[in-house]
Structure 1
Amino acid sequence: MIDRFAFTAMTGAKHAMGQLATTTHNMANLQTPGFREMLSTFRAVPIDGASADSRTFVVDSTPGADWSHGSVTPTGNPLDLAIQDQGMFTVLRADGQEAYTRSGKFQLDSRGFLTTTTGQRVLNDQNGFVQIPEGSQNIQIQANGAVWVTLQGQLNETAIARLKLVNPAPQDLERQADGLFTASEALPASDEVQILQGSLESSNVNAAQAMVQMIAQNRLFDLNIRLVQMAEQNSKSAGTLMSLSRV
């Protein structure tokens, strides 16, 4: 019985630490543009085995993300983009899979390709890459994602690409370790998504709420550790009583 008590408390401590890690990850991305807060919860897991049908343990899990919008802040950088309302940008991961993000903090690499800050290239609506010709000036990105530039030696603006903007259902997306979201199959471009040039959407993590969660999760961890210590003390007391009974 004591072993079961200790195991239950130890399991509780382990998964309290798992929730704390999720909250810490959210806090670490407080300043990450477009970051979507990871949700965490406990779920019951039945125990298989003889005479265990009525018992369950709990484990921590991350059932999804908080899709509420972050605040939009003007930056003045023409390569900073913010999505208005619903939608996501499309980029290509190193493994060749399409991925989706709310972060519109883009830059140009040495060859003029539009990329994320971590190097993934941004896709256009033809599933190619968005490349700004060398010497281009006055980069304008319209609300529908169309990219216009003034080419070297020309006076008029020229359309060179259109960003691939998608509008997936949140339940169809899976968060990856690099912070990007993927779907089971490539999503079609959407004409409904609108963007704002020269602005960035901030993370939607609430710092005050996250701090409160961290305190509660730390206390839950401490409580379970005390229960483990109590189980150890009870075991020692039971051992002492058994020794006395044999005298």
Structure 2
Amino acid sequence: MPGVSWVYNRTGEIEGRLAVGGDDGNLHVLTYKHDKWDKFVRKNGYIGKVVCLVFVKDEDKDQFVIEQFYLNEDNKWCFLTVLPNELQLDGVSVVLHDNSLYVVCGRTKSLEIVNTARVFDLHSSRWSKVDDMQTKRSSCSSVMTNNTVFVGRGMTDGPYFNNFVECADVRDRKWRTIPSTTTDWPPLTSVSNRLLGTGGMTQQWFGSPPSNIVELYDERSTKWLPLPHMTHKRWGHAAFSTQNGELITAGGDGGGYSIESLKCD
């Protein structure tokens, strides 16, 4: 795998094992039945974001690429695609649905934050344009639930962090806004086809205190409803779901190496 600058998005649980990516560029995998970290990776790095699908920078070729990790195929990284010239951006967010890879937002080499969105078809290896999003942002969080792409948080000009949320149905790919999350910079997570936000910053500026808020978006009332708070306040952490409907949060500023779970049924 090339040198990792940033890691976005994830499928948290791979073949019954918890996969976590660290700022050290390594993949850390926890095997539940043994309750220990697998030996083929190091566990001495800062626990950052969960890894399955990643956006990385290939330092050797000075280009951004997207790769996927498979635990059941000799623990190898699989190259998916190089971002096209117009998407050679820092801080994009990616999410995979069926055979379509959604790539949204980012920041140009001149530090301009954009609101572009593209879709890569894994079958045809072709890119197609999607309507621009309403909010320009970098380092945002995207997740798929109920055939809808949700995009939240991100850095805007200033720099400031935001809590704006937009979504697009995969059938028409038209962006619309939904109510903002309570905190700024919370990662969005899909648990049993329900949209959740966890932690984040209590204010819009970098270095503001982290939060332990967990909230669920209710589509009927179009409101964010509170769930039990996390034990640790954290931002910049991993947040994802397991196959049995548990919400997992790991690492982040304030969370350290800790991992905690919440049953959401």
The structure whose residues are more often strand, as a share, is 2
**Higher RCO (C-alpha under 8 Å, 6+ residues apart):** 1
TM-score, normalised to structure 2's length? 0.22
